[in-house]
Structure 1
Amino acid sequence: MNKSKRIFYFDVLRAIAIIGIVFCHAAIFFLITGVNSSYFPVTAFFDCLRDFSIPIFVMLSGALLLNRDDSLIKFFKKRLSRLLIPFLFWVLVYVAYASVYIWHGFNIKSSIDILLGTSGTLGVTFWFIWMIIICYLGIFAINKVIKFGNERKENFDSIFIKILTGLSLIYILISEFGLFNPYFSRLVYFVSFISYIVIGYFIANNDYVGRKIDSKIIIAVTLVVSIILYSYYIFGFVVPQSTSSNHFVYKGYFNLLILVLSVNIFIFFKYLSKTKFLTNIESNNVGNAITVFSNYSFGLYLCHYLIIYHLKINYTKFFLDQNFLISIPLLVIIVIVISLVILWILDKIPYLNRFSGKS
């Protein structure tokens, strides 16, 4: 996508989402101090930034890719190859690192676990790649249905998306009330994220509220609601539930609170993009930096966990001895800087630039 066609608030959302994910994986390390430590609320606050960051990432995929007419060849070449090539490269890097520093020799079973994103392994974050691949296949299938329907009925796409959005909301509601368990299996869990794909497209491409209410009011309301919801989530649910049960308790992605929080943040930046504030940022150096950061977000996702792991193993005492309000953000900044430098270098080297994940 060239610069003239970019949607800047998508870049902002993507940048915020990847920062939230890095914060989560950095903060997990500090949970070793226990849920009853005085620092636990700080750790929980940073860790749970992931809980709306992942849905926003998925919603952005829906906003960008749903209702597009891609051929099967273009889909696999342009969509899946952009995921798989950098992903497989970084799997090899993780396996090589683990073989030298963790296993002290090659282990095929553990290597497969990294590839599959198995929980408790160095590749734990790679579950997201398999989920996105499943969602991409879902997007391709939905787009083919839309194309088929549009050839036979006018405005079929609009009607079909509204129906899918309604079904997606119902799905999350029945998951919230325990009528269906989206965590029943890994495949069901991955397929469940298609609900956020559809919701993301619907929000990005419809403006029912904006026709009746001033954008400034929508911005203020969504900002306040987002702050209240996240504050309640951390200090009204996560912290008290975790301390009472003596283990870290948080909500999954398929519940009403996380849905409303994620949607509010998405809508906030959608309407903020209509103001001079975000327009001015887009046209200056800060906007250029956000765009570059957004471009490297996928590569950053792929490589950041290995860097966090290495820093945690080698500098445990340094980070734990600091105030967590300082040490967690400091770890995040260090990880992001190192990651971006690595990705920038890869991007400048012929052939290796395909592994940077830059979009």
Structure 2
Amino acid sequence: MVLRENRIFYLDELRVIAILCVIFAHTIQNFPVNMDYLTSPTLLSYLTVARMGVVLFFMISGALLIGKEYNLSDFLKRRVTRIVIPTIFWQIIGYLSILVFIGFTYDGLVQAITQFGFPWFVCAILGIYLVIPIFNSFIKEYGMRGAEYFLIMWVFLIILTNMQLDETYYINLIFNNIGKYIGYAVLGYYLANKEFNIYSLPMVVFCSVLFIISLALNSYYAFNFSHVFYVESYSIIIQCALLFLIFRYMDKLTKFRPKFVLSRVHSFVQNSFVGSIIYYISIFSFTIYLMHGFVVNALIQYLPVTQFSMIPTMFLLISIGSIIIAAILYKIPIINKICGIH
């Protein structure tokens, strides 16, 4: 419990949801290989949930890092190294695993590098870390009004991007590579710190109802608007914001209204073995992100999927397998320092 005392539990909960969403998305994309997920109602319903994973990670980063006091060089050193070193570690493991099967030759190395590319999420989160000090200074100067100003501009650029006009080509080029990711970080900071004049219980209920409605509507309209699955879609902003608020205000409800039924349930979860599991999966999350692809590839070889009904089972097996491997690595000295556990 000593390790957990300085952590924000609802952010750990969101981080667990995020990594499970990422695993679920990759499960859908890899199983079954002969099914088009954009033409299947079942897979579209799954994707409606799975696509929120990386966005939640960006929002959590903003909630934790923006509005804080820190030394610039120390911040960059700590944040960049905790991303780059584990990524290089798992890239090497990936290259070696491929070379074992195709041979340790120059052509084999080229093929391994081609097949095992650099994770796009790592590039995105590094970009966020590099520009967060700039936004941190801006928001510390102007407070919530500064965050609101930035978010208004960000949503405006989201709208221009979704319009896909020829005249906005250069805006899209810059925004798609930089702006949309840092926008989610600022949104996470804003939702974690903005005080809304609504009591915790009504906020939890209201956001939960809207979240369920948004999932249902998104699944219904997904056939005609495949763009809803992109990171810059309106629906993903709404759904991730609602989910963020649900867990934030559930946490507040537990602290300030402990006698409510929901508060008691949440308090039990937080202080039981379930809370410990959430904590460990949270600190394993980056390791799991970088490593779960190996589990996916292993299961493809031995448990090919032929039916939609098998996808939840495969997701469960991949999740459990990835968590177990991360837990084992956590116990190994030195390796636990470079594999991404934090």
TM over 0.5: yes
Q: Output one character per residue of 1:32-63: Cα deviation in whole Å (capped at 9) or x when no partner.
A: 3334999x222222234332222111100000
Report the equivalent of 2:151.
165
Displacement of 1:111 in angstroms is 4.7
**After alignment, is 41-50 or 302-311 more displaced?**
41-50
Residues 85 and 354 in structure 1, CA contact (< 8 A), matched pair in contact too: no
**After alignment, is 193-202 or 48-57 more displaced?**
48-57
Report the equivalent of 1:176.
162
Report the equivalent of 1:201.
189
Report the equivalent of 1:285.
273
Report the equivalent of 1:68.
68
SS class of match (1:4): coil
Displacement of 1:260 in angstroms is 0.8
Closer/same/farther in 2, CA of residues 111 and 185 from structure 1, 3 Å limit:
farther
Q: Output one character per residue of 1:62-112: Cα deviation in whole Å (capped at 9) or x when no partner.
A: 000012222233113321111111111001111112223367755444454
Is 1:315 aligned to residue 296 of structure 2?
no
Is 1:51 aligned to residue 51 of structure 2?
yes
1:135 to 125, 128, 138: 128
SS class of match (1:6): coil
In 2: Cα distance, 1:174 partner to 1:71 partner: 36
Amino acid at match of 1:55: V
Is 1:268 aligned to residue 268 of structure 2?
no
Amino acid at match of 2:77: K
Is 1:100 aligned to residue 100 of structure 2?
yes
**After alignment, is 50-59 or 294-303 more displaced?**
50-59
2:205 to 217, 220, 223: 220
Closer/same/farther in 2, CA of residues 37 and 348 from structure 1, 3 Å limit:
closer
Displacement of 1:190 in angstroms is 4.1
Matches within 5 A, 1:288-299: 288-299=276-287
Amino acid at match of 1:285: F
Report the equivalent of 2:339.
356
Residues 47 and 229 in structure 2, CA contact (< 8 A), matched pair in contact too: no
RMSD: 2.7
Amino acid at match of 2:31: F
Report the equivalent of 2:84.
84
Closer/same/farther in 2, CA of residues 233 and 183 from structure 1, 3 Å limit:
farther
Stretches of structure 2 that go unaligned for 5 or more consecutive residues are 255-262
1:324 to 295, 308, 311: 308
Is 1:346 aligned to residue 329 of structure 2?
yes
Amino acid at match of 1:97: S
Closer/same/farther in 2, CA of residues 143 and 229 from structure 1, 3 Å limit:
same
SS class of match (1:334): helix
SS class of match (2:33): helix
In 2: Cα distance, 1:103 partner to 1:144 partner: 51
In 2: Cα distance, 1:69 partner to 1:207 partner: 21
In 2: Cα distance, 1:112 partner to 1:68 partner: 38
In 1: Cα distance, 2:8 partner to 2:25 partner: 26
Percentage identity across paired residues of the two chains: 26
Amino acid at match of 2:242: N
In 2: Cα distance, 1:163 partner to 1:29 partner: 40
Residues 182 and 192 in structure 1, CA contact (< 8 A), matched pair in contact too: no
SS class of match (1:189): helix
Q: When the two structures are superposed, what TM-score results if normalisation uses the length of structure 1? A: 0.82
Report the equivalent of 1:301.
289
Closer/same/farther in 2, CA of residues 12 and 37 from structure 1, 3 Å limit:
closer
Residues 90 and 339 in structure 2, CA contact (< 8 A), matched pair in contact too: no
**After alignment, is 95-104 or 63-72 more displaced?**
95-104
Q: Output one character per residue of 1:294-335: Cα deviation in whole Å (capped at 9) or x when no partner.
A: 11111100100121022113322xx32xx523x212212222
In 1: Cα distance, 2:113 partner to 2:151 partner: 36
Stretches of structure 1 that go unaligned for 5 or more consecutive residues are 114-120, 150-155, 243-247
Report the equivalent of 2:25.
24
Q: Across the two proteins, how many residue pairs are aligned to each other?
A: 328
Residues 59 and 201 in structure 1, CA contact (< 8 A), matched pair in contact too: yes
Residues 59 and 184 in structure 2, CA contact (< 8 A), matched pair in contact too: yes
Residues 287 and 340 in structure 2, CA contact (< 8 A), matched pair in contact too: yes
Is 1:233 aligned to residue 218 of structure 2?
yes
Report the equivalent of 2:230.
252
In 2: Cα distance, 1:183 partner to 1:227 partner: 33
SS class of match (1:33): coil
In 2: Cα distance, 1:214 partner to 1:145 partner: 30
